[in-house]
Structure 1
Amino acid sequence: MELNHHRKVRLPGGAARRALRFGLLATAGLGVIGTTTGAAQAAGFGSGPVQGIAVADDSAHTLANPAHESRFQDSFTVHQYGALFAAGVRNQATATASHCSAADPCRSVALSFQIVTMAGTNIHLNAVNLSRAANVHCPGCESLAGAYQFIVSTPRPFTLDAAAQRQLAVVHRKLDALGRSTASIADIRRQADVLAAQVAAILKSAAASAPKGPGVDALAQLEPQVTVHRVFDQS
């Protein structure tokens, strides 16, 4: 997949759109293959919305420079929301390398994983997933920004059980470990994709046990859906 430098990617359809169940929850980026603030963010599991409206804004930012030649940051947070009629979720990764020399280049890596669960049959969803990587007066430097946004939509509310949360915690630790890796930028990106695939599998398995929607015809009942948005930028 070719990369466009310094490219911002937004969901098609303007600032907001109407999500009529699962299919229309899709966005830009690669198809199916999170973060609150304060103590909940540190724990990795967000709290619920107020009166059926949810807002999540998560990010990872790095700046490498002569004082800090190698920088890495990841964000991995889960927001578990119940029944919603509206949600605005934003996820962003930004990596910048600045003013290092060709003889002593810098490396900057930012990876943000945002996981959101929500329930409803007619949700107004505004989902934005962005990445930006830039080398500023930095010959020979490397910058990588990767944003992964996982949206789990179910007809009725459910919560991730203890087993699923433990599995996600294992993935989070593996993501943290990438910060200690000396692997190439290309390999870091590949490993991040592998971890994203593991998250998607965990969420799909968990959502499969969610209560189904009402309906006379079982084939017409609404099914859980996991949508993944993936955006990378590299410089």
Structure 2
Amino acid sequence: MIETAVGPCPAWKVDGSSTWAIHIQGLGSTRAGTLRGVQVATDLGYSSLVVSYRNDGEGPTSGTGRSTLGWTETDDVEEAVHYAVRCGAERIVFFGWSMGGSIAIQLALRPRLAPYIAGLVLDSPVLDWSSVIRANCARAGLPARAGDLAIPWLSRKGLSRFLGLPAPIPVGAMSFTSWAPLLTAPTVILRGTNDDSAPDESSLALEKLRPRQVEVHRVAAGHTLSWNRDPVAWHTTVALWLKQTS
């Protein structure tokens, strides 16, 4: 159990070296889905911590139980980082899936954690919530503009309260256009070209902005399904990248 400000969050721990991999699932997913990354980390001898966070169905319920798109959930995962350091972690690699990728990036940008962060392995990460909301509106058969109309309901105090959110979500602050200049951690992104939930334009744009930090690998697959498409290639790509960056 990882103790957080909102209560204990269950985690799985796999023993290994002083390099730790912290695995973060996406919105609506479960910890089990991240075991795809644990396989790679274990083969490299890393310790692994598979975490949960508030309102994910396994972690504690906070407020009305609604997700804040990673904004407050990041604080819970930060406690997992501190736990790892107390247990002897000297280097930390984040494996983040979808919204878990957004959480991983937010953590990598926190100055107090930066000395420990050795790299980010992100599968179908959410890099810009505005474009993700528009894409999901289109997938649901709604006009993409409906997504633009939804943003104020998330980011403005009075409107967000009607949605049951504990506080407004600063959607703009979680966009790569805001934080890209601050990203220093080596990052590999794996994503599907058929992803209609978190379009890959944001990943390609981030790679263009930060070519020395970010490397993108594209596969003909859907959202978080690159591993499902070719597990061996996914495993090989991630393992080789981690060996080269360590």
Fold shared by both chains (TM-score > 0.5): no
Greater relative contact order: 1 or 2 (C-alpha under 8 angstroms, separation 6 or more)? 1
- TM-score (normalised: structure 2): 0.29
Which has the larger helix fraction?
2
